[in-house]
Amino acid sequence: MAQLSTSPTALLFSGQGSQYVGMGSSLVQSSESARQIFERADAILGYSLSDICFSGPEEVLRQTRYTQPALFVHEAAILAALAPVHCDAVAGHSLGEYSALYAAGVCSFDDTLRLVSLRGELMYAAGLAQPGTMAAIIGLDDADVETICRQAEGIVVAANYNSPGQVVISGERDAVRALLPHFKQAGARMVTELPVSGAFHSPLMESTRQELAEAISRISMTEPRCPVYMNASGRATTSVNEIRQLLIEQLTAPVRWTTILRSMYDDGIRRFIEIGPKNVLQGLVRRTLGSEVEVSGVDTYEDVQRLNHLFQAQ
């Protein structure tokens, strides 16, 4: 098996917002293993997820019910195309947590895809039933963001602690929009509403909890091959029972990504490889941990070849 190096290594899996039309196409064109992943996904789902990923249209791909399975399948296809990868830890941002669990051997591809598809459908429906939105706040301390959220006339919470000075808030649409000027007045460098279909990681997702919890309880899980750093706790676990519980909590709890990265660093991780479209997580690693760590990513088949050559040279 090819090894990454002596540097303790984590694989990080991208979440919603990183998707783009055309994702996965180069993998399928050049890797038979990746092509089989997409074909299997189409058969399980009963529709052509491949067409949505490769050709769009964008307004369809960005619907949560399609975005979530698309991201998972793309990330599974990258893993299939890569040479065998040794890693010391895994984590995924929101939806990416499911890819991380698959990569660690906790769940089968079929079970993970069905779970992700259900999650996407439930969250899409919740967004229609209780319209919500999210917004990125850049340039304020976490505590300042939390204080302003508590002033909202309605539900607004901190949903993603992405890096120092970058927090995403989530909640009822009117309440979030009414609060945005307050963040600017408090000194935020940037306040941007995000193009999402619901208030993810907030109490507005509570309606999805029971059905997803039942689905999570039914699927087979095995102990992970390496520690999994979970969104809802920010800490590592190898306990299947804890993984099940934290997956359910993740629906309404914030993504503690800054805590995850700092916990990994404290536990000795020095190399971070993002698996998935674009490079959002790579930027968050650099902003959180600085220049003392190695950061790279794999999205296209060209990236796969580059990383495979690196493995072979070591």
Q: How far apart are the first and last CA of the chain?
A: 11
Predicted confidence (pLDDT) per residue in 183-229, tens digit: 999 999 999 999 888 999 999 999 999 999 999 999 999 999 999 99
Under 8 Å between Cβ of 86 and 4? yes
Question: Cis (ω within 30 of 0) for the bond into 57?
Answer: yes
pLDDT for 2 equals 31
- Let me know if 309 is a catalytic residue: no
* Catalytic-labelled residue, pool 94, 170, 197, 263: 94
Under 8 Å between Cβ of 221 and 98? no
For the residues of 201-232, what is the DSSP string, one character each? TSGGGGGGHHHHHHHHHHS-----SS-EE-TT
pLDDT for 6 equals 62
Domain assignments of the chain as residue spans, ordered by start: 9-128+202-313, 132-193
* Catalytic-labelled residue, pool 201, 202, 233, 263: 201
- Let me know if 201 is a catalytic residue: yes
Collect the ranges in the chain with pLDDT lower than 70: 1-6, 311-314
Range 132-193 classified under CATH 3.30.70.250:
yes
| Residue among 131, 178, 184 at smallest CA distance from 151 | 178
Q: Report how far residue 168's alpha carbon sits from residue 179's, in angstroms, rounded to the nearest whole number.
A: 13
User: Domain 9-128+202-313 falls in which CATH fold?
Assistant: Malonyl-Coenzyme A Acyl Carrier Protein; domain 2 (3.40.366)
pLDDT for 73 equals 98
